[in-house]
Amino acid sequence: MSKRGGGRGKGERPDAMATLQAANEELRAKLTDIQIELQHEKNKVSRLEREKSQELKAEHHRATVALTELKTKLHEEKQKELAVTRETLLRQHEMELMRVIKIKDGEIQRLNGLVLTLRDASTDKVRSALLAEAEEARRGWEVERCRLQQEVLELRKSKRSLEDALTSSQQAGQARAAELRSAHHHHQEELNRTKRDCEKEVRRLMDEIKLKDRAVSVLDKALGLQAGHAHRLQLQTQAAEQQIAVLRDAQRAGTNHTPNSTPNTTPHIVSPASSWPCCMTSSNT
């Protein structure tokens, strides 16, 4: 009976050890795969965080540069328009001064000629010359006054048109500034939305990492339990082999000393076959 139990224990031990080793190897392989996948996920999260941060910084920098360039361009256009207007007004003023100077020079020359005529001519000739000169001067002054009035009206019209152009340019600048502010606000909203999406994605990935960490810890515990069970099985196997060796030694000793007699008492030996199911049941529970 003991021999049959020992043979059955020897037949079952390699199968059980092979099964446990295969299960341990499979658990180790799963644990390695999960750890590799967890490291990949962590690297992916770090890469996504860096990429999103770089994209946000680049978008903000581009928006700031575009806004600065547009402000600079608008300021330069205003400065150019003001410079052109200033140069036009200065040129008109210089031309007007030159014309007045020429008129005064002609008037001075005419008065000098009149003085010379008065010195040489008689009183009647002087009176007639003065009257003719005064009439001519009056007519010239009327013509000059009409021309000056016309130029004043033209200058007023030019000034009004320049003011209208300046007002329209200011309105266009204000509209452009409003568009830039709206674009900047929209861009800021896009940046905030992208940031929120990134934070949601990071939180989701962190939750997945936590779940995988828990799974890894569970597998670690299972692997520890399997290792403890394998160790207990190894100890039981060693104990069973020792009992079988003792039993064989006892049988050999009984055969050599008393071949025709049977012993009245036999040592209480626990066979591995009887202890094996109990250990398996406890380990499974």
Kindly give, in sequence order, each residue whose CB lies less than 8 Å from that of residue 165, ignoring residues fewer than 6 positions away.
81
Q: What is the pLDDT of residue 121?
A: 57
Residues in the chain: 285
Q: What is the pLDDT of residue 253?
A: 83
Q: What is the mean pLDDT of the chain?
A: 78
Distance CA 194, CA 184 (A): 15
CA 39 to centroid of chain Cα atoms: 23
The predicted-structure confidence for 72-86, as pLDDT tens digits, reads as follows 888 898 888 888 988
Global pTM reads: 0.33
Distance CA 82, CA 104 (A): 33
The predicted-structure confidence for 83-119, as pLDDT tens digits, reads as follows 898 888 888 888 888 888 888 888 888 888 777 776 6
Least confidently predicted of 10-24, 91-105, 147-161: 10-24
> Helix (H, G, I), strand (E, B), or coil: what is residue 121?
coil
Evaluate if residue 256 carries a pLDDT over 80: no
Residue 240, number of CB atoms within 10 A of its CB = 23
Q: Which of the 8 DSSP states describes residue 264?
A: S
Q: What is the pLDDT of residue 267?
A: 40
Evaluate if residue 19 carries a pLDDT over 50: yes
The predicted-structure confidence for 56-73, as pLDDT tens digits, reads as follows 888 888 888 888 888 888
Phi then psi for 55, rounded to 5 degrees? -65, -45
The predicted-structure confidence for 191-246, as pLDDT tens digits, reads as follows 888 888 888 888 888 888 888 888 888 888 888 888 888 888 889 888 988 989 89
Specify the residue for token string 């059955």. Answer: 8
Distance CA 138, CA 147 (A): 14
5 falls in which pLDDT band (50, 70, 90)?
very low
Evaluate if residue 265 carries a pLDDT over 70: no
Least confidently predicted of 44-53, 126-135, 147-156, 182-191: 126-135
Residue pair 126/118 in contact (Cβ under 8 Å)? The answer is yes
Nearest to 227 by CA among 27, 11, 12: 27
Distance CA 220, CA 207 (A): 20
Name the percent of the chain lying above pLDDT 70. Answer: 81
Kindly give, in sequence order, each residue whose CB lies less than 8 Å from that of residue 125, ignoring residues fewer than 6 positions away.
117
Q: Where are the domains of the chain?
A: 27-250+267-284
Residue pair 31/223 in contact (Cβ under 8 Å)? The answer is yes
